[in-house]
C-alpha cells in the first residue's frame, strides 16, 4: 500500500509538472520575466512614488522597425514601444533623442524580427483609432486579418509588487498583461474577447461552429494558436 501511495504521488507530481510546462506563456511576458530573473534591473526608474525595475518596452528598446503615418513612413529605424504609456519612440538620422508618438499621432508600426530578437516573426501594430474611432487610444498587435473578422492583441505594462522584496515598501516591478480584441466589418467597432471555450462558442454561435477548436487541448496549451484557427474558420 505504501509503494502504491508513493507511486501515485509521483504520478500526480509529474502530471502537475507537465501541466505547468504546457501552460501558455506569452513570449513578451516571458522576455520580461527572464530579464528580471537574470537581475538585469539596472534601469530602475521613478514612477510617481515608486521605484520600478524591469522594462516597459516590448522586447526591449531600439528594435529595428518601420513606422507609418498617412503617406509618410520611416523604414529600418530604431523603434521602441513603451507599453506603460502607449508611446512609440522613433530614432531618425542618428538622433540622440527620439520622436515620441502616441496612438493618436501614429497610424501603425512594425517591429522587425532577426536572429537577435526574442521574436521570430515581424510584429505589426495598428492604432486603435484606425479600427474604432470611438475606442480608447492604444496600440493593437494584428494577430489575424480576415475579410470579415480580425483578431488583435493589446499589451499593457502595470506596476506589481516585487515578489522577492520584503524591505522596500516603494519598490515595484513591471508586469506585462494583454487582452484580445476583435473587429467584425459588418458591426464596426472593437470588442474585447473573453478567451475561454464557453464564451468563444457563445460569441460566434451565429457565424460558425468552432467547437472543435474551442474544446481542443491546444486552446489551453497555446490559446493564441487556437484563436488563429478559430478566426480562419470564421472568415471562410
Phi/psi of residue 135, nearest 5 degrees: -80, 160
Could you tell me if 73 and 67 are in contact, meaning their C-beta atoms sit under 8 angstroms apart?
yes
Q: Could you report the per-residue pLDDT of 218-234, keeping only the tens digit for each?
A: 888 999 999 999 999 99
Could you tell me if 76 and 66 are in contact, meaning their C-beta atoms sit under 8 angstroms apart?
yes
Q: CA 18 to CA 36: how far, in whole Å?
A: 24
**What cell does 11 get?**
504520478
Q: CA 204 to CA 233: how far, in whole Å?
A: 11
Percent of the chain topping pLDDT 90: 75
Rounded to whole angstroms, what are the CA distances from 224 to 122, 127, 183, 185, 213?
Answer: 16, 21, 16, 21, 11
pLDDT at position 220 = 87
Q: CA 19 to CA 11: how far, in whole Å?
A: 12
Q: Could you report the per-residue pLDDT of 170-180, keeping only the tens digit for each?
A: 999 999 999 99
Q: Which residue has the cell 472543435?
A: 212
For the entire predicted model, the pTM comes to 0.87
Q: Could you report the per-residue pLDDT of 178-200, keeping only the tens digit for each?
A: 999 999 999 989 999 999 999 99
Q: Could you report the per-residue pLDDT of 150-161, keeping only the tens digit for each?
A: 999 999 999 999
Amino acid at each position: 500500500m505504501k509503494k502504491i501511495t508513493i507511486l501515485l504521488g509521483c504520478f500526480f507530481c509529474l502530471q502537475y509538472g507537465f501541466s505547468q510546462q504546457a501552460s501558455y506563456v506569452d513570449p513578451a511576458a516571458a522576455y520580461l520575466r527572464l530579464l528580471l530573473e537574470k537581475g538585469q534591473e539596472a534601469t530602475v526608474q521613478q514612477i510617481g512614488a515608486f521605484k520600478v525595475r524591469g522594462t516597459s518596452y516590448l522586447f526591449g528598446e531600439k528594435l529595428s522597425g518601420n513606422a507609418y503615418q498617412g503617406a509618410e513612413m520611416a523604414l529600418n529605424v530604431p523603434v521602441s514601444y513603451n507599453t506603460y504609456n502607449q508611446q512609440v519612440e522613433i530614432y531618425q538620422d542618428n538622433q540622440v533623442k527620439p520622436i515620441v508618438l502616441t496612438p493618436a499621432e501614429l497610424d501603425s508600426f512594425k517591429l522587425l524580427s532577426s536572429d537577435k530578437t526574442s521574436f521570430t516573426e515581424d510584429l505589426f501594430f495598428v492604432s486603435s483609432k484606425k479600427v474604432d474611432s470611438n475606442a480608447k487610444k492604444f496600440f493593437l498587435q494584428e494577430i489575424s486579418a480576415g475579410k470579415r473578422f480580425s483578431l488583435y492583441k493589446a499589451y499593457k505594462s502595470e506596476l506589481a509588487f516585487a515578489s522577492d522584496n520584503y524591505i522596500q515598501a516603494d519598490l515595484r516591478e513591471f508586469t506585462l498583461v494583454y487582452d484580445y480584441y476583435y473587429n467584425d466589418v459588418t458591426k464596426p467597432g472593437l470588442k474585447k474577447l473573453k478567451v475561454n471555450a464557453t464564451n468563444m462558442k457563445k460569441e460566434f454561435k451565429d457565424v460558425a461552429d468552432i467547437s472543435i477548436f474551442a474544446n481542443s487541448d491546444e486552446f489551453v496549451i497555446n490559446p493564441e494558436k487556437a484563436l488563429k484557427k478559430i478566426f480562419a474558420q470564421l472568415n471562410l
